[in-house]
Amino acid sequence: MKIGVIQGSSQKEKNQLLYRCTQEAVKGRGHEVENFGVFPEEKASYSYVETALLAGLLLASRAVDFVVTGCSSGQGMMLACNSMPGVLCGYLPTPQDAFLFGRINGGNAASVPLGLNFGWMGEINLQCTLEKLFQGEFGVGWPPQEAARKRGDALLLKELNGAMKRDMTQCFGGFPPELTERVLGRKEVVSYIKQHGSGPVLSLLGS
């Protein structure tokens, strides 16, 4: 699985921490982690809405299989990501939430709080949360005695999610121009999608 790390500018000083914790959480599991920023040294500012659209493009193009993201509270990023076609994002403030989201819901994005309650030793909770997220196979169902029912519910949720949202290529042109211009101006992400992505989403990115 290819995992993308990306977060908005409000918590850009936590970018390297989020990237390192994700790398540590998947160590030995055969996953690849790519860091898309926003990096601490960047002068350009990207909101959680803009960042969520970038995450949606990364997933829609299959340039990555999963996105680890966050904002100050984690809530706004989760909501924005869930507004994107094909994205099922969990809000993961604790290791318990992360474990259950991974095993039961099996989504393709996770938003963590990088400011709210992130006090002394907050990185320990972040590390433990990401480790629990990637601890086992996604979408297997939990607890074991209810696994079959949980898998069925998760599949139904994904079907509903897909049925209620238009494809990225259908809705991208209806987004505010100032939003799409900002997003397509983030060359690090756009060039990565062009190189590693596939499908009709690439037609949205220009030449």
130: left (phi over 0), alpha (psi -120 to 50) or beta: alpha
- Count of CB atoms within 10 A of residue 29's CB? 10
pTM to 2 decimals? 0.95
pLDDT in tens, 7-57: 999 999 999 999 999 999 999 999 999 999 999 999 989 999 999 999 999
103 neighbors 151 (Cβ within 8 angstroms): no
90, β-bridge pairs: 110
Higher pLDDT, 207 or 124: 124
Radius of gyration of the chain, Cα coordinates, nearest whole angstrom: 16
pLDDT in tens, 112-167: 999 999 988 899 999 999 999 999 999 999 999 999 999 999 999 999 999 999 99
Cα–Cα distance measured from residue 195 to residue 63, given in angstroms and rounded to the nearest whole number:
8
